[in-house]
Structure 1
Amino acid sequence: MDLEAEYNNRARVADSAAIIAGWARDAAAFRAGWARSTLDQPYGDGARERLDLFEPDMPGPLAVFIHGGYWQALDKSFASHCARGLLGRGVAVAVPSYDLCPGVPMRRIVEQMRAACAMLHRRTGRRLLVAGHSAGGHLAALLMATDWTAVDPALPAGLVGAALPVSGVFEIEPVLPTSLGRALNLSPAEAHALSPRFLPPAGGDLHAVVGGAESGEFIRQTRDFAAAWGGSEEVLPGANHFTVLDPFADPAHPLVARAAAMAGRLAQG
């Protein structure tokens, strides 16, 4: 199997650079136009330990959307517009940044996302739906698997009660031999330990999504992970690794309706 071809999505999708540039434009326009937003809230002391919080007109459930970039690229400014769909259904959305590999180890990124979620819970008292794209999907799964009482005994065990990973990487070891794996600086044992696929199934509501035009490995990883954790899976017909995010800007899309229902159940519980 050509693992480089399976996992290098920017090379696989010819117009990936144009799509990512479009994200930046759409996200900036959304931030400028959404009045109920609080930008660059710190959840830690680092320069990238910041999140943007977008709120609907009335208080409601809370979701987090984590950007992708193979743990080594992008930041929250590329993903703001992914909050539009859930906001249209009454769900507040936080969009965090995090430090990048190789500047920090992957475990540090996981710790940062835990800190962001803990801050949001302490501030709002709400349990969280966490969605994420690609590397963000991996982080969303790890957040649902977190023992939150070990992070802080004052936090509820089910702080992240639902996860919606999109085109997630749930087995990291196959990425290591590729050009994308070099910056991760992980041994095979470390990669295995940080792979949600091989962790005990987390309690909570899991719905894993992948694009129908993605590589066989991304489709396999989504299928195998959802099965291992007893969650559901969905293949979006015709979507590649980048266009798979298009539904999140549309409040009327069935995937956004499903995500809003997942967040709503947490608010009721």
Structure 2
Amino acid sequence: MIDLEAQYNNRALVPDHPAVMEGWRERAQGARMAHPPRPAAYGPGEREVMDLFEAAPGAPIAVFLHGGYWQALGREWFSGIAPSLLAHGVSLAIPSYDLAPTVRLGRILSQVRQAVEAVRDLSPNRARPVVFGHSAGGHMAACMLSEGRASAAVAISGVFDLAPLIPTSVNAALGLDVREAAALSPIHWPVPNGSTPGGTVLDCVVGGDESAEFIRQSRIMADLWGGQGVQTRFEAVEGANHFTVLEPLFDSGSAMTRRIVNLTAKA
């Protein structure tokens, strides 16, 4: 029997994760000093705010959705990603959202929808942005693609089927039951196709050193949607765990950054 707690408890799987996360924080502080973001509210709530890092007026905008299992972190942790995209003339929006257990996961998804629509309002002709995200953010990036709100999605270490989380400690804050988990799992959502407004490109990227369950989730999602007409790509980043898989986003010359830039150019 699979030990789902062990498979989905990423902080326990990566004992040095505090050092990696402190690196995120330090680079975020440096980026905010070098490129002060413009905060933009997308709703009335305290956390319904996104940071806009603007490359130039009218520049294409990508949206990054942060992780934290829908119950931790916020936009200020990930500002360090911005310089890599700004170097290519791509603006970046990083929204915060309310966290469980204060709100239900369905409410968080509604907030992300509002944030993405607010980004579209900032774009010429309300262009659909590329949406990329990590962990919980990967889940939500796939949701935005399914709903036709994104031109493409890059899901990094995403959770596309929430059912395995139900018996784990992750669910203590989420409170998912079988029905709600199924309803909020993009693996069960409509597959974007040529007749659906929006994009049909989904990258499922995962660390090669992540748990077997995280690798399985990304591979199955790519295979399932790819078999139904979506342009999917699966990649296991060699030597990367659930936290270090984000390292390429801090490098303007990395393949991951170039991929997001190229998808943005096609939006």
Q: Same fold (TM over 0.5)?
A: yes
Distance 1:128 1:244, change over 3 A: same
Asked whether the equivalents of residues 56 and 91 of structure 2 are also in contact (C-alpha less than 8 Å), the reply is: no
Q: Which amino acid aligns with 1:99?
A: D
Which residue of structure 2 aligns with residue 67 of structure 1?
66
Shift of 1:202: 2.0
Shift of 1:262: 0.7
After TM superposition, where is structure 1 displaced by more than 4 Å over at least 4 residues in a row? none
Which residue of structure 1 aligns with residue 53 of structure 2?
54
Aligned counterparts of 1:110 and 1:93: Cα–Cα separation in 2? 19
Secondary structure of 1:160's aligned partner:
coil
Q: Which amino acid aligns with 1:228?
A: L
Aligned counterparts of 1:109 and 1:184: Cα–Cα separation in 2? 11
User: What pairs with 1:102-141 in structure 2 (closer than 5 Å)?
Assistant: 102-124=101-123, 125-141=126-142
Aligned counterparts of 1:89 and 1:234: Cα–Cα separation in 2? 23
Q: Are 2:182 and 1:192 aligned?
A: yes
Which residue of structure 2 aligns with residue 6 of structure 1?
7
Aligned counterparts of 2:40 and 2:26: Cα–Cα separation in 1? 21
Which residue of structure 1 aligns with residue 88 of structure 2?
89
Asked whether the equivalents of residues 70 and 180 of structure 1 are also in contact (C-alpha less than 8 Å), the reply is: yes
Q: Are 2:41 and 1:45 aligned?
A: no
1:164 pairs, out of 148, 154, 159, with 154
Which residue of structure 2 aligns with residue 154 of structure 1?
none
Which residue of structure 1 aligns with residue 192 of structure 2?
202
Asked whether the equivalents of residues 63 and 131 of structure 2 are also in contact (C-alpha less than 8 Å), the reply is: yes
Q: Deviations over 1:87-145 (max 9, x none)?
A: 22111110000000110000000000000111111122232000000000001111111
Q: Are 2:171 and 1:181 aligned?
A: yes
- Gaps spanning 5+ residues in structure 1: where? 147-157
Which residue of structure 2 aligns with residue 219 of structure 1?
215
Shift of 1:2: 0.8
Give the RMSD, CA atoms, in angstroms: 1.2
Aligned counterparts of 1:58 and 1:185: Cα–Cα separation in 2? 43
Q: Which amino acid aligns with 2:159?
A: V
Secondary structure of 1:108's aligned partner:
helix
Aligned counterparts of 1:72 and 1:101: Cα–Cα separation in 2? 5
TM-score, normalised via structure 2 length: 0.92
Shift of 1:161: 1.4
Which residue of structure 1 aligns with residue 76 of structure 2?
77
Aligned counterparts of 1:225 and 1:129: Cα–Cα separation in 2? 18
